[in-house]
Amino acid sequence: MDTNENCLQYPNQPEIFGCCDRILVRREHSSLVSHSSVPFKKGKGEHRNLRLLPTLRLYPRIMTKEETSAERDDMQIDERDLEHPQVSTIPRGFSADYLKLYYGKLFPHADIYRWLSYGNDGKHPACDHSYFGRREFSFTLENDIYIRFQSFNNAVDMENSIREKCPYKIDIGPVYSVDPAKRHAYAQSGNNVFAPVERELIFDIDMSDYDDVRYCCSGADVCLNCWPLMTISMKVLDTALRDDFGFNHILWVYSGRRGVHCWVCDGRARRLSNEQRAAIADYFRVYKGGENNVKKVNLTGPVLHPFLARSYTDVLKGFFEGKLLASQNLFASIERFQKILEIIPDESIASELLDKWQGNRRSSISKEDVNVVRWEQLKHVLQSGKQKAQGLRRCVEEIIFTYTYPRLDMEVSKHMNHLLKAPFCVHPKTALFLILDPITVAIIQYLLLEELNMSGMRSESEDEWERTSLGKSIKFFRSSFLSPLLKSCKEEMESLYNSKVKQSKNALNW
């Protein structure tokens, strides 16, 4: 497998080389991780770029782009590993003890606070110092104890509560009109003053929603063959959110198990009403799922909407024909290509192709990929001149949209009060972190191993996470997302303040 095939590419993010199934390699080479805690499914030859260290106490790590091009032995040990042969170990399993260490040493409390304050933690006269205190947090504790409507006055309060309670899961809700922890006091007044007033525009995409078009995995399992469906979905949405809606501050986060979360954090996005959020969600709605719907995409009109046309031409068509056809073997068996033929509204054409493919054994076209050959045959039949009047040419586009277009959880995006897992927290079912890159994601046990083994090598000026695998994600979060966002918030705050001052002066002059 070529190195580039192992690379998951994200919008506006540098390429990161490595293998998604490195955690499965850890399972094969270490007794620390149980089978049930690993969501990535193994594929043949998919861990060739990993540097496996020749001791079971050390785990494989991702190679950088520079390392893949260097002539180095894959079994070579890092010099720092030779200098520190005594490696600390972490007991098997997932427990609150791990979370105590993680929340105490590695979790970026200050960064989360700065993000969710949106500049209101400063000294500018326009700062709303009640803003962060009106944000809802939800904690899921051990034994599935669920605590909603948590709120904190400042970063210290938030950090102390997280370290004390050690939540298995942290969810972030909206900013309310009043402190959510004191909602009952306002409810007694009967004037309905407790209501959400701000919330990031969010999107949630789960790989399990693609189970009808992927054959390598199902449910929560993910591998290199099907994860590109997530990458493509991100690319389509990110482009539209920036180009069609003018949003700039967009954060993509691996969900920790089987999908991705999107946080749109521009001021305009945070202040959208439920109706406006629903309109944006409907703008993206093309795929209409449901077990009773054979045809899940229906493209109407003489031409595609500009957004759909751009997505099809720039992203979906090339991905379907260049990657998905072969990786999922969509035409390799009757069960698979029959699902594609069911999308064709003309039964005579579908039957003609079915008879042709059933009678044409794979050996007769062994020199060519059967998926490519049969796809070209299908396109030729549907796009030939005689089919123009029947409106079947659009059917090729509908097939590609059915198999590749983003499948959103619409309800997540429509309502301000929907909760979403916080970045950098730990998924309770996989022990994986919600970070910006699923390739470099670590299981909590190994992140703590890194911290323990690197503690004696860290300089006084370094944060504790800097030499762990969490470091790159936190640095990227700060430099590429948080800094530009806070700069924009400051400019917006200054502009609004100056506008109010000007209006006040004009009123006095009058």
How far is it, in rounded angstroms, from Cα 57 to Cα 44? 25
Q: What is the predicted pLDDT for the residue at 358?
A: 86
**Confidence at residue 94, expressed as pLDDT on a 0 to 100 scale:** 58
Does residue 502 surpass a pLDDT of 70? Answer: yes
Lateral strand order in the sheet of 250-254 = 201-206, 259-264, 250-254
Task: Decide if pLDDT at 457 tops 70.
Answer: no
pLDDT above 70 covers what percent of the chain? Answer: 67
The backbone region for 408, taken as left when phi is positive above 0, alpha when psi lies in -120 to 50, beta otherwise, is beta
Question: Does 433 have pLDDT greater than 60?
Answer: no
| Distance set, CA 91 to CA 23, 33, 150, 259 (Å) | 17, 9, 32, 28
Taking alpha carbons only, the member of 270, 296, 278 closest to residue 210 is: 296
What is the arithmetic mean of pLDDT over 276-296? 84
What's the whole-number mean pLDDT along residues 67-94? 37
Structure-token match 């993509």, residue found:
252
Q: How far apart are CA 56 and CA 250, in angstroms?
A: 39
Q: What pTM was computed for the model?
A: 0.77
Of 413 and 67, more confident: 413
Which segments within 211-353 are labelled E, that is strand?
Answer: 250-254, 259-264
460 is a catalytic site residue? no
Query: What mean pLDDT is predicted for residues 371-392?
Result: 80
What pLDDT was estimated at residue 93?
52
Query: Of the ranges 96-105, 379-388, 483-492, which one carries the lowest mean pLDDT score?
Result: 379-388
Q: Span 96-285+408-441+472-495: which CATH code?
A: 3.90.920.10
At 243 the three-state DSSP class reads helix
Given the residues 128, 157, 206, 463, select the one marked as catalytic: 206
pLDDT of 75 higher than 60: no
- Gap between the Cα atoms of 390 and 345, Å rounded: 10
**Residue pLDDT, tens place only, 467-501:** 676 778 888 899 999 999 999 999 999 998 888 88
Give the model's pLDDT for residue 89: 41
51 pLDDT more than 50: no
* Catalytic residue of the set 200, 204, 266, 398: 204
Q: What's the pLDDT at 186?
A: 77
Residue 155 has pLDDT above 70, yes or no: yes
**Which pair of tokens denotes residue 501?**
């001052």
Active site residue 243: no
Task: Say whether 145 sits in a helix, a strand or coil.
Answer: strand
**Cα 138 from Cα 442, distance rounded (Å):** 24
Would you give the end-to-end CA distance of the chain in angstroms? 74
Structure-model confidence comparison of residues 96 and 380, the more confident one: 380
CATH 3.90.920.10 in the chain: give the residue spans.
96-285+408-441+472-495
Q: Give the C-alpha separation, 223 to 38, whole Å.
A: 11
Mean pLDDT in residue range 167-183 = 94
Measured CA to CA, the distance from residue 156 to residue 260 in angstroms comes to: 29
| Percent share of the chain, pLDDT over 90 | 48
Q: What is the pLDDT of residue 463?
A: 62
What was the pLDDT predicted at 473? 82
Identify residue 433 by its one-letter amino acid code: F
Please, which pLDDT band fits residue 57 given cuts at 50, 70 and 90? Answer: very low
Give the C-alpha separation, 16 to 222, whole Å: 18
Q: Please give the average per-residue pLDDT across 381-392, as a whole number.
A: 69
pLDDT computed for residue 119 by the predictor: 96
The three state secondary structure string of 90-129 is CCCCCCHHHHHHHHHHCCCHHHHHHHHHCCCCCCCCCCCC
| Spatial separation of the C-alpha atoms in residues 72 and 457, rounded to whole Å | 25
CA distance 458 to 465: 10
Q: Which two tokens stand for residue 354?
A: 């079915």
Residue among 307, 310, 308, 306 at smallest CA distance from 297:
308
**Is 209 a residue of the active site?**
no
At residue 185, the pLDDT reads 81
Q: Which of 136, 179, 450, 451 is catalytic?
A: 136
> Residue 267, class by beta-carbon neighbours within 10 Å (0-12 exposed, 13-18 middle, 19+ buried)?
middle
Q: Tell whether the model's pLDDT for residue 31 goes beyond 50.
A: no
Report the 3 state secondary structure along 318-329.
HHHHHHHHHHCC
Residue 58 pLDDT grade (very low, low, confident, very high; cuts 50, 70, 90): very low
Q: What pLDDT shows up at residue 239?
A: 97
Tell me, what's the pLDDT at 64? 33
Q: What does the mean pLDDT of the chain come to?
A: 76
Whether the predicted pLDDT of 68 surpasses 60:
no
Of 259, 168, 86, nearest in space to 444 by CA: 168
Q: Which amino acid is at 141?
A: L
pLDDT higher than threshold 50 for residue 130: yes
Tokens of 398: 């509908």
